[in-house]
Amino acid sequence: MTDSTKTLCPYCGVGCGLEVLPPAQPGKPINRDSAGTPIWQVRGDRAHPSSQGMVCVKGATIAESLNKDRLLYPMLRDTLTQPFRRITWEEAFDCIVQRMQTVRYTQGPEAICMYGSGQFQTEDYYTAQKLLKGCLGTNNFDANSRLCMSSAVSGYIQSFGADGPPCCYDDLELADCAFLIGTNTAECHPIIFNRLRKYHKQNRHVKMIVVDPRETATAQAADLHLAIRPGTDIDLMNGMAHLLMRWGHFDVSFIDECTANFPAFAQVMQDYTPEMTAQRCGIAVEDLETAARYWGESERVLSLWSMGVNQSSEGTAKVRTLINLHLMTGQIGKPGAGPFSLTGQPNAMGGREAGGLAHLLPGYRVVQNPQHRAELEQFWGLKPGQISPHPGRTAWEMITGLEQGDVGVLWIAATNPAVSMPDLERTKAALKRSPFTIYQDAYFPTETAEYAHLLLPAAQWGEKTGVMTNSERRVTLCQAFRDRPGEAKADWEIFAEVGRRLGFAQQFAFTTSAEVYAEFAQVTRDRPCEMTGLSHERLRVKGPAQWPCRDSGQVKPGEPARLYQELRFHTPDGRARFGAYHSRGLAERPDPEYPLVLTTGRLYGHWHTQTRTGRIEKTRQMHPNPFLEIHPRDASELGLQDKDWVEVRSRRGLARFPVTVTKAIAPGTVFVPMHWGFLWADQAEANALTHPECCPDSKQPELKACAVQLVPIKAGMSPQENLHPAARSSILAPSS
């Protein structure tokens, strides 16, 4: 066995191509992990156009997690205080179908909710949409992308008439100015950052601007770092627009011919004088001017953004204000230019294509459009009116639905909300009230398993074949290469089996994921995300491809596809829309009682709630413990020294951390990583502190900021050292 399998890294939205080889290769020692267990070998796929053979530490070490602590069998319990007992799949399906039917006929389909994930493959997503939104007639499918990309989705839709990042990775090496806002690309999208940094180093005229309240590894590589106060992005961008206008750096013919609503934006930006803007953002006027000058004088400007922009109570407005800058300067639809949202999860893009948010339907359709609903009802062989005209519950609305007793079944798959949702105490209390929670994951224990009645073992990366789309709209076939452990099943297989047992045999007659994908591709016909030219077979033989990709073969394989090159947008009149937004600032501002702003985010070696990276020696050693970053000025006011412990309190909860005193964070702001749930540390949950206030358009919560107070923990009272996770896995140990 020397054959390698081509696939995609299942972590971040960069979507690096990987080649996987069996542990044993002729003439070589068997590949083993740190504990001596034989493991598959992973290397970058040089033929993959997105990553060209590069991988970061997460992709390189992924194989080590595949055999650790897997959930192997369905397990059931009647109440959350009981131990789980092993059951057969037959019993599990019976139990699900009976519950769903009872809830459907007693409370109605709106009492059924599914909370899925950007870590699904597209086939998983599509099957779930067909089951919930089509067959059951409830739009209560939402995904963790609600916490991640939904502001980018609504910003693109409102400005361009359709979702979809217009750029491609080749643009990283074609831009004259890269404007990175609210993204720690170096740690979170490392291979994109490698490409950009290399090009930036080799080309002295290229400018890199980073806007982030912290001096991240990304900021350290920039020509200009704007350490703005959290939540002042709109001030900054309106202030830049003001200067671009004053200096005549705008594209009159583009604005005239290709856009609408410029006067409203021009009116708003007038107020953002350099002095006021700089003062609000907490930066120097000269730095604001430098940013505007770099942008205005560059022929090609590429902006990159992620959670510092999206996870905000004005997330959509932030996205649209950034797009405004591109529209006023004509920086779109050409090589090296455009507003490029970096997708978080490996298949958040595929989720959007498949309609995997509560207001969307497959093929970049929306629930509230009657024609879109009718097209799908017909395609799915359902009666007219079967798809509900009402958007379903968002992730947070599922929590409030539990609180109000409106949810009869909650089905969670490929996400760990008992760590990742805002306002965790409230989230956990709501989960405890759930009449019946199904939880479908690859690992056990995870924090959310504590709140589940029925556990379903999921086949994960490498154990099922399906497609994922990365940030540059490139679709890659992720092929299975290893046996599934225990009785694990692919997510789509579980959804399809439930569909058949609920009486939709015809709708779920799929026998392979290739058939699921073939059907999904047809649903995208004549839609902005058209991929009728793609199939598992074509992706296997010819390699990854970007959409749009029609079966008539309009886009040549290998050609970088950029959207909007004809400068026609998906709005009814073909014009892009300026948005006009004043800054509103943070939903929860600091005050005398809670004087500091807490921001949260990621570390290079860890992935989210550590279900994999916490079980991999190398990545665990990189970041063994949680911590809180604080500026020396704030630290000395509190009498804190490096490594002292503090209790952080918000209006909702508390957490405890040792402090890292560093000038890399602005005074008045503190930072904690999001990675430690209650299985991995005592009381170090970032989300014990955060609040669920969200953007009115995208419904994305403001996970990036809340008001906190810090109380030093006096010597002698210090909390126990954090236990090693192995020591606490007994909390959830299944009964045999």
Ligand X SMILES: Nc1nc2c(c(=O)[nH]1)N[C@H]1C(S)=C(S)[C@@H](COP(=O)(O)OP(=O)(O)OC[C@H]3O[C@@H](n4cnc5c(=O)[nH]c(N)nc54)[C@H](O)[C@@H]3O)O[C@H]1N2
Binding site for ligand SF4 (CB under 6 A): 9, 11-12, 14-16, 51, 55-56, 58-59, 190-191
Nearer residue to ligand SF4 within complex by CB, 249 or 612: 612
Residue with token string 């001596």: 36
DSSP string for residues in 580-643: -------SS---SSS-EEEEEE--TT--TT-TTGGGSHHHHHHS-S--EEE-HHHHHHTT--TT
Of the candidate residues 242, 473, 608, 691, the single one contacting ligand X (CB under 6 A): 608
What residues contact residue 275 under an 8 Å CB cut-off, 6+ apart? 285
- Evaluate whether 426 touches 454 at the Cβ level (below 8 Å): no
Question: From residue 221 to residue 260, what is the string marking binding to ligand X with x (rule CB under 6 A)?
Answer: ---------xx-x---------------------------
Closest separation between CB of residue 17 and ligand SF4, Å? Answer: 9
Is 445 near ligand X (CB under 6 A)? no
Q: How far is the CB of 681 from ligand SF4 (least distance, A)?
A: 23
46 three-state secondary structure = coil
Provide, rounded to whole angstroms, the least separation between the CB of residue 463 and ligand X. Answer: 8
CB of 414 to ligand SF4, least distance (A): 17
Counting residues that bind ligand X (by CB under 6 A) gives 58
Q: Of residues 343-372, which lie at the interface with Mo ion (CB under 5 A)? A: 344
Task: Evaluate whether 304 touches 185 at the Cβ level (below 8 Å).
Answer: yes
Residues 86-115, interacting with ligand X (CB under 6 A): none
Provide the minimum distance between the beta carbon of 577 and ligand X in the complex, in angstroms, as a whole number: 23
Query: Which of 458, 539, 616, 659 contacts ligand X by CB under 6 A?
Result: 458
Q: What are phi and psi of 376, to 5 degrees?
A: -75, -40
Scanning residues 669 to 708, which ones bind ligand X (CB under 6 A)? 674, 686-687, 690, 703-705
- Cα 552 to Cα 39, 217, 529, 549, distances in angstroms: 42, 45, 15, 8
Is 479 exposed, middle or buried, given 0-12, 13-18 or 19+ CB atoms closer than 10 A?
A: middle
Which SS3 state, helix, strand or coil, does residue 293 take? Answer: helix
| Burial environment of residue 273 by CB neighbours within 10 A (0 to 12, 13 to 18, 19 or more) | middle
Q: How far is the CB of 443 from ligand SF4 (least distance, A)?
A: 18
**In contact, 427 and 399? CB cutoff 8 Å:** yes
9: partner contacted, choices ligand X, ligand SF4, Mo ion, none (Cβ within 5-8 A by kind): ligand SF4
| Nearest-approach distance from CB 273 to Mo ion, in angstroms | 35
213 near ligand X, judged by CB under 6 A? yes
**Residue 214 contacts ligand X per CB under 6 A:** yes
* Residue from the set 416, 619, 700, 709 that interacts with ligand X by CB under 6 A: 416
Structure tokens at 393: 């519950």
Annotate each residue in 576-605 with x if it binds ligand X (CB under 6 A) or - if it does not, as one string: -----------------------xxxx-x-
**From ligand X, ligand SF4, Mo ion, none, interface partner of 55 (C-beta below 5 to 8 A by class):** ligand SF4
Q: Which of residues 130-149 bind Mo ion (CB under 5 A)?
A: 148
* Choice between 553 and 624, CB closer to ligand X: 624
Map the footprint of ligand X across residues 280-299, applying CB under 6 A. Answer: none
In the complex, the smallest distance separating the C-beta of residue 383 from Mo ion, rounded to whole angstroms, is 37
From candidates 171, 176, 187, 314, binder to ligand X by CB under 6 A? 187
Min dist. Cβ of residue 386 to ligand X (A):
27
What the block records as the tokens of 683 is 């009381």
* Residue 13 binding Mo ion, by CB under 5 A: no
How many of the chain's residues bind Mo ion (CB under 5 A)? 2
313 binds, options ligand SF4, Mo ion, ligand X, none, Cβ within 5 to 8 A by partner type: none
Q: Whole-number minimum distance, CB 713 to ligand X, in Å?
A: 22
- Please report how close the Cβ of residue 111 comes to ligand X at its closest, in angstroms: 22
- Is residue 606 within 8 A of residue 676, CB to CB? The reply is no
User: Which amino acid is present at 76?
Assistant: L
User: What is the distance between the alpha carbons of residues 323 and 401, in angstroms, rounded to a whole number?
Assistant: 35
Q: Residue 576: enclosing H or E segment and its boundaries?
A: strand 576-577
Task: Decide: 237 and 325 in contact? Cβ < 8 Å.
Answer: yes
Residue type, 107: Q
DSSP code of residue 712: E
In this structure, the strands spanning 17-21 and 5-8 are antiparallel
x/- binding map, residues 484-523, to ligand X, per CB under 6 A? -------x--------------------------------
Helix H or strand E segment including 254: helix 252-258
What CA–CA distance (Å, rounded) separates 548 from 534? 10
Shortest CB 717 distance to ligand X, Å: 26
- Among residues 245, 229, 318, 236, which one has the least CA distance to residue 277? 236
Smallest distance, ligand SF4 to C-beta of residue 198, A: 14
- Gap between the Cα atoms of 299 and 282, Å rounded: 29
Apex 47 CA angle, 63 and 339, nearest 5: 90
Q: How far is the CB of 347 from ligand SF4 (least distance, A)?
A: 11
649 binds ligand X, rule: CB under 6 A? no
Angstrom distance (rounded) from CA 637 to CA 667: 11
Contact residue for ligand X among 103, 132, 148, 168 (CB under 6 A):
148
345-404 residues near ligand X, rule: CB under 6 A: 345
User: CA 622 to CA 609: how far, in whole Å?
Assistant: 15
Q: Which DSSP string do the residues of 346-380 spell out, in sequence order?
A: TTHHHHHHTT-STTEETTTEETT-HHHHHHHHHHT
Helix (H, G, I), strand (E, B) or coil at 413: strand
259 binds, among ligand X, Mo ion, ligand SF4, none (CB under 5 to 8 A by kind): none
Q: Which stretch binds ligand X (CB under 6 A): 141-149, 332-340, 356-364, 548-556?
A: 141-149
Separation between Cα atoms, residue 419 and residue 415, nearest integer Å: 9
| Site residues for ligand X per CB under 6 A | 12, 117, 119, 144, 147-148, 181-184, 187-188, 211-214, 216, 230-231, 233, 306-308, 311, 344-345, 413-417, 419-420, 440-443, 446, 458, 460, 491, 599-602, 604, 606-609, 611, 674, 686-687, 690, 703-705
| Site residues for Mo ion per CB under 5 A | 148, 344
